[in-house]
Structure 1
Amino acid sequence: MRPLHFVYVLTLIGQSGFRGYRLVLALYALHLGASAFRVGVLLAVYSLMQAAAGWWAGRWSDRAGCYRPMLVGALAGVAGFCISYIGASEIALFAAAAVVGVAYAMVHVAQTNVVGLLSKPDERAKNLADLSLVFSLTNFAGPLLAGFSVEVSGHAAASLWFVVLSLASTLALVAGKRLLPAQCVHTHGEGDGLRELLKNRALLRVLMIGSLVFAAVDVFQFYMPVYAHGLGLPAFVVGVIMACFPAAAFTSRVCLRWLLQYMSPEGVLWRAFLLATAAFVSMPLFDGAISLGVLAFVYGFGLCVGQPITLILAYQNATGGRTGEAVGIREAVNQITRVVAPLVFGAIGSVAGMLPVFFAGGGMLACGALLLRAGRQSTPASGGR
């Protein structure tokens, strides 16, 4: 098996577990009688622990190679899944969320970094785009497995399904160790802390744009059901409208490799931002299920190009071999945004109503497009530095 294909398989197995476990946590907490607020705090802990460990995990993968962070992360995931099975309490779920959040950061950052390291410079953007397609598959497979495992085995025993998945990933990783690059790509030296990394203005711009993408995704996932419900649409129809978004996300990532043959990553992204902006500000102008479904698809297509593109740009703009750190700090910023954005836009909606939320979100995306347009264009479809 080719090394890249091996990493893709590892990613599909391991990250399906991590992404599905988020749903298991929420369902288990509700089963134990937790309020909606406490469930929100639980999921925030999961995201914030990923944020806290992101840069550190990237720094480790740059210095020690990617094998050890992936191995330790997979084993830590096993430990976290076992906590929720053994504990059977809200306190245990919070502990499990913290452990699994850190484990996920180690695995995710190292797997992303190793794909870049295994790629030739002129193929790196395309290979990272393929990795984003694998991420889309895990976003589908993980929640599907979570719901099925809870239905078949119950809330506590569902955690054991993810233990098995993580152990399978660990065994595959150990068996295929020789396929991974062993050398460190960056050694510790003076002046290479987080502050120095953030002095890279090109990378800082990518982080800002990436946070806008994640904010826009979460705002849509929260406010579209509220808006559709307010129009009196049935729950099934609301579900179909929401399903148009991940369908578009998968479609956009299938098309991304082709788009990168004709445009630079930044060129693709700023056009995608404009497309998403137009779709989002148009949503309050329509009240039909079909029109909202079409707009949700267009919005998802434009917006979900942004996640893999910002990953590609973060990797390209990392200097001094600090690619893992760049990927890690991107993950940290994205997870913090995932917690903060719903709170900010929720406050706007509570004070001013639904319409300003759509226009504020559209304005945010338009600012991202302008920020990209004003920046220096990168080389088309190149792997970067």
Structure 2
Amino acid sequence: MSQSQWATKLFYSSAITQGAIYVIRPMITYRALELDATASTIGFIAAVYALLPVLLALTFGKMVGQIGEGRFVIFGTLFIGVSAVLLMAADSLTLLAIAAALSGLAHLACMVGGQTMVALKSPPDQYEEHFGRYTFSASLGHMVGPILATLVAGSTGVMPKSTSAAFALALALAALAMVPVISWRNEPPTVVGRKEDSGALRAAGKLLKKPGIFAAIFTSLAISSTADILVVFLPLYGNENQFSALSIGIIISIRAATSMASRFFLGRLSARFSARQLITSSNLISIAMCVAMAFAPNAWVLGAVVFVAGFSLGVGQPLTMTLISQLTAPDERALAVSTRLTGNRLGQFLIPAVAGLVAASAGASAVFIGLAILVSTTFIPRQ
């Protein structure tokens, strides 16, 4: 398969699957509110979304080197559709949590397959460009998904008319995302993964001892958790402050749009500034914007703040992907990708549960202050 063929297929599929996920994530919050969930319960469901990925990410990292990146993308896309069907039928918080967990696992499979493919098929001098394009395609889905969801679901004011209609849209998008990648069902792994006698967990532990790996993974954890929390808790914040469901959907899309813009220009930015300079400056901006979100008096101000936050949050993820790829050998990159994703999902498992408790006692605005503190921890010196 030529470079242009695999890249084009992956980026198209990634944009659509990420769109499906970003239809699902905000609508899970609204479906939970329909079922009279408390803020702490919403935080718990958001944590459950990341629970299975935390447990299985390292296993996926070993499996993708044996099964193949393309097949992982196909499996993930298929089960995003299955989770959408379950969400349409979710008439209890228990079933909603189960469906959320499955969608999180399916999303992880797509990401392990896609990121491993980019890490293995891209020439080393084009990592920034290819990871930038890959995350750009994801941000495109993040931007379009929430708007499509709110348009399809309709609005009664602060709540959608039909979350089931939005989940049906996610099912249709998953089916569409399968079209460009279905030909990969017989593709072997690009590089057969290293077989570790010591097990995935111990192999990941060895990987984390390499200089720079832990710092990159922790930074990725903080940035991805912050972006993920915004998707889950902006609907709750809007509900508390009587912002319409449509305005919150647009604001979530604005975050994705400006992240997409930052990734589009990442190649040019990387030519002028070092990765450390870019990550440091973008994280400082993210801290300031998270604090500002907590005090936004209306949807217009919130949208303006999220506009800036989206740009700053968009920089860190592709840069940490690049750093990890540069610091690892080809036969351990699948494990490195999955270790990074384990860190991301661990943060997305623990932090929403804490955020839900904070929101229950102090309101959703306090969650944004907590996110500012989380991003601040990336400046703690580490090897």
Q: TM-score by structure 1 length?
A: 0.77
Displacement after TM superposition at 1:293 (Å): 6.5
1:143 Cα deviation from its structure 2 partner: 2.0
Count of aligned pairs between the two proteins: 370
Per mean C-alpha deviation after superposition, the further-off stretch among 129-138 and 161-170 is: 161-170
CA distance in 1, matches of 2:302, 2:151: 29
Q: CA deviation at 1:243?
A: 7.0
Amino acid paired to 1:25:
I
CA separation in 1, counterparts of 2:92 and 2:298? 43
Calculate percent identity across the aligned residue pairs.
23
User: Could you say if the C-alpha distance between residues 353 and 13 of structure 1 is closer, same or farther in structure 2, counting changes exceeding 3 Å?
Assistant: closer
1:106 & 1:192 partners in 2: Cα distance? Answer: 20
Q: Secondary structure at the match of 1:260?
A: helix
- SS of aligned partner of 1:198: helix
Q: CA deviation at 1:13?
A: 1.9
Please, which of 114, 119, 129 is the counterpart of residue 116 of structure 1?
119
Counterpart residue number, 1:92: 95
Name the counterpart of 2:201.
194
Q: Distance in 1 between matches of 2:233 and 2:180?
A: 40
- Alignment partner of 1:61 is 2:69: no
Where 2:328 maps in the other structure, the secondary structure is: coil
1:185 to 187, 192, 208: 192
Distance in 1 between residues matched to 2:365 and 2:14, nearest whole Å: 39
Report the CA distance between 1:247 and its aligned residue: 4.5
User: Counterpart of 1:380?
Assistant: none
Cα gap change, 1:90/1:124 in structure 2, threshold over 3 Å: closer, same or farther?
A: same
Deviation at 1:218, TM superposition (A): 5.9
Question: How many Å apart are 1:128 and its aligned residue?
Answer: 0.3
Task: Choose 255-264 or 128-137, whichever is displaced more.
Answer: 255-264
Q: Equivalent residue of 1:322, what SS?
A: helix
Bigger CA radius of gyration:
1
- The one-letter code of the counterpart of 2:62 is R
Task: Summarize the alignment of residues 262-341 of structure 1 with structure 2, pairs less than 5 Å apart.
Answer: 262-277=272-287, 296-319=306-329, 321-341=331-351
The equivalent residue for 2:158 is none
Aligned partners of 2:112, 2:87: CA distance in 1, in Å?
A: 24
The alpha carbon displacement at 1:214 in A equals 3.3
2:259 is the alignment partner of 1:249:
yes
The one-letter amino acid paired with 2:268 is: W
Alpha-carbon distance, 1:110 to partner:
0.5
Post-superposition offset of 1:9: 0.6
Question: Residue by residue, what CA displacement relative to the aligned partner does 1:183-238 show, whole Å, maximum 9, x if unpaired?
Answer: 433231324632232233322221112222234446777899999999xx9847x9
Question: Is the alpha carbon distance of 1:224 and 1:143 closer, same or farther for their aligned partners in structure 2, counting shifts above 3 Å?
Answer: closer
Deviations along 1:75-121, one digit per CA (max 9) or x if unpaired, are: 22333222333564444323322222211111121012112222111
What TM-score do the two structures reach when normalised by structure 2? 0.78
Aligned equivalent of 1:131, options 127, 130, 134: 134
What are structure 2's unaligned runs of at least 5 residues? 156-160
CA distance in 2 between counterparts of 1:241 and 1:141 reads 11
